[in-house]
A and B are shown apart, each in its own frame.
Chain A
């Protein structure tokens, strides 16, 4: 196998942060190389330098043995390097074909027939299914990804880089994608897949390069590696990869949701007749393809989403019922009901990035102070306590929270919400972007809440985690409940089917 890409001693810094330090890497023709590392380990930065987005501070890149300088994505394309980014870069109002030829050299006019023919040739060759004239805004996430991959192939890429391509796909779609990638490998292309999922590395790749804190710590042939050895390489020390799960104790109904329906501004139903019951002392998972109504569900339980119809009934410890639909967050709090919410967008909704930790603690407490003055003493004490309890790494309570790492930001947010001693805790994608250690801290905190008798709802994207952590899993499909299943007995594939095909499965748990 011949070497197509060689990266030598690449270093890239952003301010004081060293994203890559002396990284060396090689990729061969006809292989799939997995670039494994935690979030923030520098995988994407490295690949962005290969695809011309960033320019390295120092180091050399060789393509087919020749030293090259890649100044722009155009240079990268000229060298046969194509990257499919995690966040798609497509123009919504254009068709697949238009997006694919966008930015290509040539005249203003697109030769429709020829373009379509070439696109279909590529799809046939690798087993894609695509309609070249479908508009992007009508496409599912998986279709959009297909467009991105074809876009790269259309430009004649011989070296393909895919950044976390499976994050947004269902298990079935992932299998299909892997088939496509294997065909590319058989076609003698070089494929680099950026990922932090160990399972994927094992089933797909030929070799794996492990990155940790900006450095490439090891490259091994996949057959020589185990999930455990890879995880230890990523984190840098031994760790146990299991989540403990206790049986729920004295589960009683806490939040009864029935017929919940929400509309988006265009009148489309984002949630459609959703009914379920959240119980104390259990963790209820919410699964679904991205954008199936998870966000709306979380927000309607916390008063942030306007509810079109349906009821959200809170059952107090004394059995008294309170209707929450139609109340604002402050009205819910005003009734003495403590529903805590850790939103998906941590710095855009749960916290204010430019404010310091004390001011962020105040978001929840400032209203309680009497008179016109803000009380900084209580939240400051709370912040200090939180730093100690969750071992938050921060220069101090006066540093803006956006300066903290993702894991510490999440500790501040989740910690603040738990400190409010909620009876219902709603968390959305709490471990997205977090390293393994922080993720396990989050799981432990959620389990601790469950054992304290809190009703926990957990919207997640990693099915393995949902299956290990939750007691029941509610599967959403297009805003409707496709099934509520027992997390102890259901399989990943079954959930995958429920995510894409509406059914009415309900396990008695």
Chain B
């Protein structure tokens, strides 16, 4: 051992150290991110290899299983719709640095409100879908408003608060399913009745009309964030609450307004799911969309247009995993593992966009 710190040879120099990078160009940044996704797929390939399968075959089958035939394509789009709409809703809150992880609950409440009118209201056919639409938006919005009220009045932690509200909503639906809303015609099987035709969304090009809703919503959210005073306020509050107060923005009001909108959009997802795809309400209504949409929102860096791409991409993975489930006997949760890898790599690559590692040079 040499004296601490005294240089005897090159061995004193650290083997590797971290250096801040110059700002990278847009193109480079996209390349790094693409490399990250590729890296995640490679890691997934290693996993499949370890399970004794040929990863190339699996990826090929996933591709054909999600995009190959018309039926597969419509199915992929059907999975992407709720992901996209929910990501748009979550994105509004995230832009404000309000960590709304309560989309699950907001979707459930929206779905429940829509289902109530579908099942019990007796609203005449032509108006039923409109009523369901607005009921879902209102219910989701109010469910989203609760944590915002507590946050603006008592500065509660919204992450825990929204998470806990998910369980309340879930148990509420379970109560309805096993109790008052249980369909008596299905003896012994706890389930809620199927909707009438009037409560089902029409189809356009083979997929329920929700995809048009979703695309219109992308444009609306984009314009809202970029061009309106509300959008500007959300940005400022998200960047710095002291600055927002300094500029005379009523921070509490922005929280309330934005969380109502965020919840309302998630509530709309609930409507699209029950009325467009499931035609009934059950405790499984969300299928985890509220959480997967967080991934979509992050991968898209809260950009509404990019959310279209990533919601389709995640839907492809999920649909593809379903397809290979039978042929290769791989559990479809493999898709979730892959999504996890991708998120991990994408978030990890942000480090390499800002820093680089410098390795010790060879001694001359």
Contact = CB atoms under 8 A, between A and B. Distances in A.
B248 interface: yes
B70 interface: no
B245 interface: yes
Interface stretch (B165-173, B230-238, B307-315): B230-238
Interface stretch (A166-174, A369-377, A456-464): A369-377
A125 interface: no
Contacts of B21: 15
Q: Which of B4, B227, B235, B248 has the most CB of A within 10 A?
A: B248
A309 interface: no
Nearest to B249: A330
A372 B5 contact: no
Q: How large is the interface on A (under 10, 10 to 19, 20 to 34, 35 or more residues)?
A: 35 or more
Interface in B7-52: 7, 12-14, 17, 19-23
Nearest to A403: B23
A68 B5 contact: yes
B237 to A, nearest CB: 10
Given A362-B232, A373-B229, A341 B246 contact: yes
A106 interface: no
Interface stretch (A41-49, A192-200, A345-353, A430-438): A345-353
B4 to A, nearest CB: 4
Contacts of B12: 68-69, 71
A182 B19 CA distance: 38
Interface string A27-43: 00000000000000000
B243 A329 contact: no
A70 B7 CA distance: 9
A122 interface: no
Contacts of A57: 19
A363 interface: yes
A359 B250 CA distance: 18
Contacts of B236: 352, 355, 363
Nearest to A343: B246
Interface in A111-159: none
B284 interface: no
A186 interface: no
Contacts of B229: 366-367, 369, 372-374
Q: Which of B6, B23, B243 has the most CB of A within 10 A?
A: B243
B326 interface: no
A429 interface: no
Contacts of A372: 228-230
B125 interface: no
Contacts of A366: 229, 232
Given A71-B5, A349-B240, A363-B243, 10 more contacts: A79-B5, A328-B248, A329-B248, A345-B242, A349-B243, A364-B247, A366-B229, A369-B229, A373-B227, A374-B229
24 contacts: A15-B22, A66-B7, A67-B6, A68-B7, A69-B12, A329-B245, A329-B247, A329-B248, A348-B240, A350-B243, A351-B243, A352-B243, A354-B239, A355-B236, A355-B239, A362-B232, A363-B236, A363-B246, A363-B247, A366-B229, A367-B248, A372-B230, A374-B229, A374-B231
Interface of A: 13-16, 55, 57, 66-71, 74-76, 78-79, 304, 328-330, 333, 341, 343, 345, 348-355, 359, 362-364, 366-367, 369, 372-374
